[in-house]
């Protein structure tokens, strides 16, 4: 079963494996070192306690195996989505399922995403998840989606309080996909 969950310190090695090879070929920072992976996990764990929480970094867990990471950074009423999967898990629909799960739990009315022109598979993931292409440059293709979770601020706060009180441990969002 695929689920999204908060990262833990034990995930540093798996995060390093995710951020290697062709998965990071188009990224400015390249492959992660062990120290960078550890720092990344610690920073994502710290973001869980920020108030307001503007960064959501969730592991994409497939039957106990961390195969990727999905991130949502929010600014006001807009979220920006990013994701990465370990190379040996590409092509099975896991990225699309993870993006859909994240979108189903977000409270921001608009989410944006982008991918490098040289990575059309990422564009297919976004399109399958319901994103619409809004712009393209020589380097980047930009997308957005209006989420179906457009509720009042009071409803969002109540839902967030309910989720926080219900999920005292790691956040988990599950799919049968």
pLDDT tens digits, 112-142: 999 988 888 999 999 999 999 999 999 899 9
Distance of CA 58 to the CA centre of its chain: 6
pLDDT digits (tens, 9 = 90+) for 84-118: 888 898 899 999 999 999 999 888 999 999 998 88
DSSP code string of 37-99: HHHHHHHHHHHTT-SS--EEEEEEEETTEEEEEEEEEEETTEEEEEEEE-GGGTTSSHHHHHH
Buried b / exposed e along 109-122 (16+ C-beta atoms within 10 A): bebbbbbeeeeeeb
67-71, 86-90, 169-173, range with the lowest pLDDT: 169-173
pLDDT at 174 over 50: yes
pTM of the model: 0.79
The mean per-residue pLDDT over the stretch 65-73 comes to 95
Number of H helices, E strands in the chain: 5, 8
Other C-beta atoms within 10 Å of 4: how many?
24
């Amino acid at each position: 079963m695929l689920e999204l969950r908060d990262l833990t310190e034990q995930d540093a090695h798996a995060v390093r494996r995710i951020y290697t090879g062709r998965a990071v070929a188009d990224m400015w920072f390249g492959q992660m070192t062990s120290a960078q992976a550890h720092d990344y996990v610690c920073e994502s764990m710290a973001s869980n306690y920020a108030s307001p929480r503007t960064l959501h970094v969730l592991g994409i867990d497939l039957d106990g195996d961390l195969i990727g990471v999905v991130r949502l950074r929010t600014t006001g009423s807009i979220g920006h989505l990013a994701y990465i999967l370990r190379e040996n898990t590409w092509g099975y629909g896991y990225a699309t399922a993870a993006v859909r799960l994240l979108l189903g739990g977000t409270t921001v009315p608009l989410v944006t995403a982008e991918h490098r022109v040289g990575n059309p598979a990422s564009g297919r993931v976004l399109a399958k998840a319901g994103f619409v292409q809004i712009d393209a440059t020589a380097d980047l293709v930009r997308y957005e989606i209006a989420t179906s979770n457009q509720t009042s601020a009071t409803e969002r706060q109540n839902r967030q309080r309910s989720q926080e009180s219900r999920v005292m441990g790691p956040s988990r969002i599950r799919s049968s996909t």
